[in-house]
Structure 1
């Protein structure tokens, strides 16, 4: 029987038993295992891990765990180790693309409202989400740990909060998206990129007061929904103020 010591840092403790958090866990095992499999045996998705240090040396997911190893596992955005990192996955290149699972529809809608590309359909099953993420290099947003543990899922984030607005703020912080917010550039219904359209082309679809007081319109080329900077833009600004933190809201609004 082989034995290791393993410790998870900061937000990775969200996934393990409270009694094991913030401490070295002594773990016995009797079969050959990669460090990726060992980490996920503690219910920590590989997508949440940014750095792994074994006996003072940074390693990748393919490292085979050995008897006596001392393992430290770090989350993203944490500089708790001075040891140079071993890249665990290819770097994500901008712009970031997301795909949300079927339980995060309102989060997807809020991200689209802020101008981010987020695929979502309420009939997406886990297989569909994983395949889309793999083929299109999208970040999976989910509250399903098992989805993030799939081998074909390279990028992902486990959304902690239950409330959609808090979830949105959480994603903005995790991926440092505040400076990239561009409201009313993407369709909140289907994710299409909005384009300017002439009033004469859509005038027959407008309500009388909208037709009278507004002249500039945007339309989604995919689903034909119409958007304009009307009185509802005040409500949008109020919503944005709720979604972003105090340090960023003024610059965005």
Structure 2
């Protein structure tokens, strides 16, 4: 056995036992235990970690710990460019796509509303989420920290907020999504692209009063639903305008 001293910073403390939060503490480690193994043994999913310093030097997850090592573990830095120091991942994801677990159906719809390809099925088992994340290079969104500890999941977020609108703000802020949002391009139900149709094509597919008042329509080729810029669209537009300005709070209405 070897003994190392750990210090976790900022929101990573939320995953630790209370007596270990926001302070340095010593921990016994198996000989040749890696940084990743010990970080997760202490309760912190590796997907939440952005930087590991061992004795002041940046290391990767597979770095073996030695007796007397001092380990500092950091989440994403909001205002400091640490790219020259990073050792924990080979490369960032070029295009952000998500897969959400069974607890995050409302968030999945709101991310689709913002234009982000987001897979969701409340029957997805954890192994299928892990497989989708690996095969399609998706970020896993979950409120289950154990899911984020699975070996092949490289990018993920533990969602702390409970309500979908607050969850949307949390993910937008943590992943800096505002500049990448492309609202109203995906079907909220199917996650498939929406495309415009001629007004005449919509005549038999929408209520008569809607057809008389509206001039622009879009449809989803999967579910065949037709959408227009009514009062619900205006509420969704307000939500998207608000979240892309990174406003701190909003109360929203959702459509079934």
Q: TM-score, normalised by structure 2?
A: 0.90
Q: Which residue of 2 aligns with 1:127?
A: 127
- Asked if 1:41 is matched to 2:17, the reply is no
CA contact (8 A) 2:185 2:193 kept: yes
Change (3 A) 1:176 1:30: closer
Post-superposition Cα deviations, 1:15-71, rounded to whole Å, max 9, x if no partner, equal: 002221111111113443111101101010000011111111111111111111111
In structure 2, distance between residues paired with 1:175 and 1:83: 15
Q: Distance in 1 between matches of 2:5 and 2:211?
A: 69
Name the CA shift for 1:118/1:82 in 2 (closer, same or farther; >3 Å).
Answer: closer
Q: Counterpart in 1 of 2:5? A: 5
Q: Is contact 1:13–1:21 with CA below 8 Å preserved after alignment? A: yes
Q: Superposed, which structure 2 residues align to 1:65-144 within 5 Å?
A: 65-77=65-77, 84-144=84-144
User: Offset at 1:132?
Assistant: 0.3
The residue number in structure 2 matching 1:56 is 56
The 5 A counterparts of 1:1-253 are 1-77=1-77, 84-240=84-240, 243=243, 245-246=246-247
Contact 2:31 2:66 in 1 (8 A): no
Deviates more, 1:234-243 or 1:176-185: 234-243
The Cα of 1:6 is off from its aligned counterpart by 0.8
Instruction: Supply the RMSD in Å over aligned alpha carbons.
Output: 2.3
Q: How far has the Cα of 1:211 moved from its partner? A: 1.3
Contact 2:142 2:157 in 1 (8 A): yes
With normalisation by structure 1, the TM-score equals: 0.91
Q: Tell me by how many angstroms 1:169 deviates.
A: 0.3
1:94, distance to aligned residue in structure 2 (A):
3.4
State the distance in 2 between where 1:133 and 1:217 align: 33
CA contact (8 A) 2:45 2:148 kept: yes
Pair 1:172–1:20, CA change in 2 (3 A):
same
* Distance change in 2, residues 1:56/1:198 (3 Å): same
Structure-2 change in CA distance of 1:209 and 1:201 (3 Å): same
Instruction: Show structure 1 runs of 4+ deviating over 4 A.
Output: 78-84, 241-244
- Tell me: CA distance 1:83–1:187, structure 2 relative to 1, closer, same or farther (3 Å): closer
Per-residue displacement from partner, 1:180-219 (whole Å, max 9, x unpaired)? 2222111100111111112222321110111111121111
Q: Is the 8 A contact 1:45 1:148 kept in 2?
A: yes
Give the conservation status (yes or no) of the 8 Å contact 1:57–1:83.
Answer: no
Asked whether the equivalents of residues 219 and 226 of structure 1 are also in contact (C-alpha less than 8 Å), the reply is yes
Distance 1:30 1:206 in 2: 65
Q: Deviations over 1:126-170 (max 9, x none)?
A: 111111001000000000011100001010000011111111100
| SS of residue in 1 equivalent to 2:204 | helix
Task: Report the Cα distance in structure 2 between the residues aligned to 1:83 and 1:223, rounded to whole angstroms.
Answer: 43
Q: Report the Cα offset of residue 87 of structure 1.
A: 2.5
Structure 2 unaligned residues grouped into runs of 5+: 251-256
Q: Assess if the C-alpha contact under 8 Å between 1:103 and 1:122 holds in 2.
A: yes
